Structure 1
């Protein structure tokens, strides 16, 4: 058979994505890696909100915020999903034939230039590294079904040939793309209460890994230093900076709020009330960054100054209060 489907029950045209990628989200797309696993867990009819405690440990790293992603050990613990690095030693299409036939998915770096779901941004315009998850391979029709960002999509024809480098001449200098095998043959379907207890334990763990001081205050200080450089270098530089900073901070805390809200709902009315202040604080950080990304763009374009304390003060306070709420109630 030329068509190999790991998840035969899903189709790109009718796929209903996770509520974590709903249009009402402040950040519909979070980052290319965590989005893949949110949608995979959702497609498996499991609860993706359980895996999100790792967002509580995000930190400001000086020139970027933590590029947050689920830990492989936690994917196995929560859902029985096993993720291992793939030894990419032969053409990707050959690996895909072998692994998809065995019921394994492949998460692999790819070029968004050849992905129709990025139409309007990168498709046929920019060469940008991203990560996709291969699920449905049809060699005869040259068609690929794949998870990417906030959903499940298909590409075909020239896009298919370019993704797999089918038309490229052998090139000994071409470095193979990083890839992982994703095994779903031992998926575990836990009762909601049991899953929530495991997730709650992870929250406690990640509270121990959170930054030792308020990272948003450090971000505010660095922002004051970076703004003159952005005035000088212009909007292209700003957009690259904002993706690695404002976007990652905002998206991380949108997911943190979703996890804590879900834990409150599963725990009952009293637990939901106790955790509500943390949910509100983390949503404030998420929404604040959503508004900020456009506000700073306008300031950069107009070469206008901004007071870092005014920009980040409320968000820094929300981080302190949200973490204190979790310390008291988790």
Structure 2
């Protein structure tokens, strides 16, 4: 047994049982052998995205599924008045596209027991944990800052004292004290003593053919575009609201400094930028499908929408750098990047709606 776990009385070694367990399809996985989605390419401007989208990208890739279709939620993401929506795939979309059922899970037993029970059935859990004990966040929060994030345990080997888990843009190993503080009995004394947990049921998983998956994604994308906030009388949409709010917030950003900037930019420019980048991937996927299986969908308009979303994502990154200058007490002109973000987003949504025959 791994001696780093310490005596059972101190660390609760038995809290994870003795049997090696894994999510169905991930039985032999190690961090080095878990498939990596192109969405997590280091060249992607906003990868990692957000912790929830990232674990879904990672889980679907680990299961041999294409995660791009679930990104339709990016088309309906909205500005919430003081921040951009934290984009998440809808549970209904995941069931339609992949047959995967997701719902809140009541952890009335010790979490280690729930982990054993769900993994023994081949199902997965999405668990809120304290990033303070996640070694993949070294240099950011590992052993330096307590903050909540989401992980998916993939494979548990209690005798080796190791857990393979998904977080951010990859798969990693959790062991020893870190494992027990994150998912064992000692988590009750930590930052996330009673985590929000979702159960991912995989027994109904549906591996659609590429054409069938594309048609299903098309329907889901149309639904999200119908749900998206309609442009105002001036043609302005959510990104225009975000830009206006950022301009209004500039004096406070200059007063409160870099600590405030990191929190503010995460909720605004980062969320808007990654949403646009994900929407660009979805539009290109839809364009490729429209070329392969003509269905009255405009390949050209979808390609234009993807380019405009990419432009908005790049503008959000430039705007974020400029906001950092403001927060550090320097002068920065934000108008060009701010307008590029808003205009790119407006054009992208317009072309996506036109391509899917939703324009009035």
Deviation string, structure 1 residues 182-230 (Cα, Å, up to 9, x no partner): 1112211111111111111111111111122311211121112211111
Aligned pairs, number: 327
Deviations 1:232-285 (CA, angstroms, capped at 9, x unpaired): 111011000101111110001111010110111122178433321101100001
Correspondence 1:197-236 to 2 at 5 A: 197-213=215-231, 214-236=237-259
TM-score, structure 1 as length reference? 0.94
What residue in structure 1 maps to residue 123 of structure 2?
104
Structure 1 distance, partners of 2:32, 2:303, is 37
Question: Separation in 1 of the partners of 2:47 and 2:192?
Answer: 34
Deviates more, 1:316-325 or 1:71-80: 316-325
1:141 aligns with 2:141: no
Contact 2:101–2:200 (Cα < 8 Å) also in 1: yes
Measured after TM superposition, the shift of residue 100 of structure 1 is 0.9
Q: Does 1:293 align with 2:320?
A: yes
1:76 counterpart residue number: 95
What is the alpha-carbon root mean square deviation over aligned residues?
Answer: 1.9
Once the two structures are superposed, residues 115-154 of structure 1 have per-residue CA deviations (whole angstroms, 9 ceiling, x without a partner) of 1111110111110100011121222222111111111111
Unaligned runs of at least 5 residues, structure 1? none
Using the alignment, how far apart are the partners of 1:153 and 1:277 within structure 2?
37
Instruction: Report the Cα distance in structure 2 between the residues aligned to 1:15 and 1:55, rounded to whole angstroms.
Output: 25
2:206 pairs with 1:181: no
2: CA distance between counterparts of 1:146 and 1:252?
A: 24
Return the alpha-carbon distance in structure 2 between the equivalents of residues 304 and 62 of structure 1.
Answer: 26
Partners of 1:252 and 1:81 lie apart in 2 by 23
Task: Give the 3 Å change call, closer, same or farther, for CA 305–22 of structure 1 in structure 2.
Answer: closer
Determine helix, strand or coil for the equivalent of 1:177.
Answer: coil
CA distance in 2, matches of 1:23, 1:278: 23
CA distance in 2, matches of 1:289, 1:48: 24
Whether contact under 8 Å (2:91, 2:101) holds in the other structure is: yes
TM-score, scaled relative to structure 2: 0.86
**Structure 1: how far apart are the matches of 2:131 and 2:351?**
40
Which contiguous aligned blocks of 4+ residues in structure 1 show a shift greater than 6 angstroms?
A: none
Give the structure 2 partner of residue 34 of structure 1: 53
Report the equivalent of 2:302: 275
- Separation in 1, partners of 2:133, 2:68: 30
Q: Following TM superposition, by how much is the alpha carbon of 1:83 offset from its aligned partner in structure 2, in angstroms? A: 0.9
Aligned to 1:244: 267
Task: Determine the C-alpha separation between the residues in 1 that align with 2:121 and 2:176.
Answer: 25
Distance 2:250 2:202 in 1: 46
Measure how far apart 1:99 and its partner are. Answer: 1.2
Q: C-alpha separation between the residues in 2 aligned to 1:180 and 1:205?
A: 24
